[in-house]
Structure 1
Amino acid sequence: MSFIAGTVIKTLAELIEPSGKSIDTWSFKVSYKATPALLIVCAILVSQRQYYGEPISCDAGAARGGIDQDVLESYCWMYSTFNIPREYKGACSAGDIEYYPESIVYNSYYQWVPLYLTFMAVVFYIPRLLWLCWEGGLMKFFTRGTSTREIEDKDEKKERLVKFFSNNIKNKYNTYFFGFVFCEHLNFFIVVFQFLLTHKFLNHRFLDYGFKVWQYYLLPTEEQQMFGVINPMCNTFPRIASCTYWRWGGGGHQENINAICILGLNIVNDKVFLVIWWWYLFVALVSLIRLICRYIQCRFEYIRYHLIHARMNRYFRRSNKTKKIEEYLKTCKLGDWFVLYQLSKNLNRSFFMDFLTELSVRYDEKEILDPTDTGQLGKQIGDTLVTMLLKPSYTSVEGGEDKDQDVV
């Protein structure tokens, strides 16, 4: 079990962070890295029979003499129901919950749990795939040879990056920024969608599942017994269910045999979905807080400046051009600020400070873009989100000397 889980997590890690560069935020990683890993581990856990034995075991009582036990259990695994009368005294049974006199409610969805958990893991990874397409390798381009402690040809690389950033600065990175914000919104909507989908998957017993379990275990055992409070875990995942098995009798007539079945799988399912419920709540809150923070960042340039200042505080204290840097960070476009903030997490900090200082000085001297370069300006205006989606945004020359590169 530990070997399988370790292999899966290692594979996910290689898939999730192929470049080793930070191109998103920690809250983004919670959605596409931690959540799929948790769901895959849960899918493996509910597939391991050593923790609960056979997923279903049935007892047909006096009629079991002429029944093949394997056939009965296979049938009931697909067609067992919640319809157990309240008179049944078994603990944690479907009879503890509401009785359905007019309809048959099947609980065969339990056999789909591993596949369903895997499907949810894939859905949570969709925003990451979109962002990898839209990001286009920009951070990899900027950080090539500039993220190590010792940087060769430091001045030459700084000049190259300043020119590249300057030539693409007029709203060029707004598409980059708003693509990322779209993915952050998508993370939030996906976790809400997963809440509702799982609620439907579990016969409308998931939306408040974690809260009800928490409330139940807050009550002392005496009060639980005195007031006849039903464990919500039994409500959502009963251990005992009913099965009506139809077959042809010896006289050529159809007969039915009623069996009581123990759903051993549910001793794992109830705990797995309890963990998932609380995790979804955590992810939803983190995503919502991140969206609120992002709106604040978009609204107040003072906040944007201090986010970079906080990361580079030691270098800001040493600089004699902090006023120009502050003016530039407060007046630049949202996309330009966001790219700079991402660079502050990936570049060598001393190199990034020199790069930011040079960029701010040139901006102050109105040397950011040559107004006579109409070809470059037209190229900037023509860049769209669709273009970034359909082909890589940045290309690199592997091997040899670094060369100036343009957006394709």
Structure 2
Amino acid sequence: MSVAAIIGGWATWAKLRGNDDDDWCDRLNHVYTVVLVIIFALFTGGGQYIGEPIQCWCPATFTGTYVAYTKSYCWIKNTYYTPMHESIPLDEKERERREITYYQWVPIILLFMAFLFKVPNMFWRMLSGYSGINLNKIVDMTGSTQIGDPDKRDTTVKHIAMYLDRWLEHNREYHWNILVRMRQKASRLCFLCNKREGTFLTGLYLLTKVLYVANVISQFFILNAFMGGFYSMWGFEAIDSLAREYEMKESLRFPRVTLCDFEIRQLQNIQPWTVQCVLPINLFNEKIFLFLWFWYIIVATSTCGNFIFWIWRTFFRMNRSRYIRKYLKISEKLHGDADRKLCQKFADTHLRDDGIFVLRLVGKNSSDILLTDLVSQMWEIYRDKPMIRKALSNESDHRDTYA
């Protein structure tokens, strides 16, 4: 098998996209941003290692080997920037203060940033399996039923509903003692405390959301330290420059023309040289990091807003029954006050946080039509349980007696 065939088999969009066990905002972080940053890393790395990353204006006495040595040395050693209208500082410490230290490491820092965007998704995939359910398999199965034979579709939806019902029953608490009561109280404060309280997946997902938020915010601090302290407000500076119709002839942040100091030993004599160099790669670095600044603002705003939205619909219990009631009304499964009360119990005591969470993920990765059918099937299974049938029968007899 050829190398091209191997690469083609792995480098597919499905492999890069990963599982569908999260929402669009998560994929904005760990798929689209990662792919974008990796493309920029390959582009800047190609410019450094394939093309000519630096060109230096050497004295006429320099031969070809001298010129090659000068370019290699000045690329490895940091150059420094002094505007043309200013004189070159004589103090060596001042020259060191003006050094540009980032351009050699741009591909590496971009790959590191891409890895950080992938870490929360890796965390989610490693730990979500401990819930006892294969979320990716559930989402794939529901997605594959949207187009196909109607009979086979209904059978698959029913099997998924039965599987989810068994999973919910398996994770129920069957004992009642002081230790269980303590864990129940702790689970109200920390979702990860007790899987049998039906909060493990929800809490783990919210913690993953926190990692996404922390990562995208920390990217600004990382790049700010990497660029020398100007990056966090750089986008606002660019907007202000455009608003004032002010175009800089030479970028102070990503200078293209810099200076390089080096010494040449000739026998016992050491001769210092200062040459002027051009960094063509900085022309692209400036545009790349400016684009990434605005892109990170969009990702950070979306991620923070999405996290707040998940917090709101998770911590307010009324959102559970409201969410289930919506789909049961569409399928016309609610009849009278008894069904509405049972729907509240179905959402709060049977599905609980984790069941609602799984249904939300299915809905976000399939369609409302399929989710309506799945909720209806789970509702029918719940109503057919012996304890629920007995409770409904007693309530019906009670109404008939008073009637």
TM tier relative to shorter chain: 0.7 to 0.9
Distance 2:324 2:62 in 1: 73
Report percent identity of matched pairs.
21
Q: Is 1:80–1:242's contact at 8 Å kept on the other side of the alignment? A: no
**Partner deviation per Cα, 1:261-295 (whole Å, 9 max, x = no partner):** 11100010000001111111111111111221122
The counterpart of 1:35, out of the listed 33, 36, 44, is 33
3-state SS of 2:114 partner: helix
**Does structure 1 conserve the Cα–Cα contact (< 8 Å) formed by 2:347 and 2:356?**
yes
The partner residue of 2:263 within 246, 256, 260 is 246
Question: Does structure 2 retain, via aligned residues, the 8 Å contact 1:191–1:283?
Answer: yes
Q: Secondary structure at the match of 1:207?
A: helix
Instruction: Decide which of 330, 334, 339 is 1:316's aligned counterpart.
Output: 330
**Match for 2:293 among 265, 269, 277?**
277
2:360 is aligned, of 325, 337, 341, to: 341
- Residue in 2 that maps onto 1:395: none
Superimposed CA distance per residue, residues 302-358 of structure 1 (whole angstroms, 9 cap, x where no aligned partner): 334445566x48x62532356233453256532232123223445733540323313
Select 2:343's aligned residue among 307, 313, 325.
325
Give me the whole-angstrom Cα distance separating, in 1, the residues matched to 2:46 and 2:286.
15
Q: Secondary structure of 2:232's match?
A: coil
Deviation at 1:45, TM superposition (A): 2.0
Structure 1 100/216 Cα, relative in aligned 2: closer, same or farther at 3 Å? farther
Q: Any unmatched runs of 5+ in structure 1?
A: 225-229, 368-408
Q: Number of aligned pairs?
A: 342
Taking a change above 3 Å as real, the CA distance of residues 273 and 102 of structure 1, as seen in their structure-2 partners, is closer
CA 1:365/1:74 → structure 2, altered by over 3 Å: closer, same or farther?
Answer: same
RMSD of equivalent CA atoms: 3.6
Aligned to 1:288: 304
Distance 2:215 2:141 in 1: 37
Q: Which residue of the partner structure matches residue 218 of structure 2?
A: 193
Q: Which structure exhibits the higher relative contact order, with contacts defined as CA atoms closer than 8 Å and separated by 6 or more residues?
A: 1
Cα 1:165–1:272 shift into 2, 3 Å: same
Which one-letter code corresponds to 1:244 in the other structure?
D
Gaps of 5+ in 2: 174-194, 390-403
| C-alpha distance in structure 2 between counterparts of 1:157 and 1:304, whole Å | 20
Deviations 1:111-167 (A, max 9, x none): 111121111111110111111112225224545755514354465664454233223
Q: Which moved more, 1:113-122 or 1:65-74?
A: 65-74
Contact 1:328–1:363 (CA under 8 A) maintained in structure 2: no
1:235 to partner: Cα distance: 1.8
* Structure with greater proportional helix content: 2
Decide whether aligned partners of structure 1 residues 144 and 111 sit closer, same or farther in structure 2, where only a CA change above 3 A counts: closer
Distance 1:363 1:234 in 2: 72
Contact 1:247 1:255 in 2 (8 A): yes
Matching residue of 1:14: 14
Q: What per-residue deviation string (whole Å, max 9, x for no partner) do you get for residues 172-194 of structure 1?
A: 34111111111110011111111
Query: TM-score, normalised to structure 2's length?
Result: 0.73
Q: Secondary structure of the residue that 1:236 maps to in structure 2?
A: coil
2:189 corresponds in structure 1 to none
Mark the CA change 1:100 to 1:271 in structure 2 (over 3 Å): closer, same or farther.
Answer: farther
Question: Is the 1:241–1:262 Cα contact (8 Å) retained in structure 2?
Answer: yes
The corresponding residue for 1:164 is 167
Write out per-residue CA displacement over residues 73-129 of structure 1, whole angstroms, 9 at most, x where no aligned residue.
11111224325266349xxxx99xxx9737444324211111211111111101111
Write out per-residue CA displacement over residues 176-223 of structure 1, whole angstroms, 9 at most, x where no aligned residue.
1111111110011111111111111111121111111111111124xx
Change (3 A) 1:135 1:83: same
How far, CA to CA, are the matches of 1:9 and 1:304 in structure 2?
Answer: 42
Closer/same/farther in 2, CA of residues 102 and 303 from structure 1, 3 Å limit? same
Change (3 A) 1:326 1:364: farther
Pair 143,65 (structure 1): closer, same or farther in 2 beyond 3 Å: closer
Distance 1:364 1:133, change over 3 A: farther
Letter in 2 for 1:353: V
Distance in 1 between residues matched to 2:124 and 2:227, nearest whole Å: 32
Change (3 A) 1:156 1:294: closer
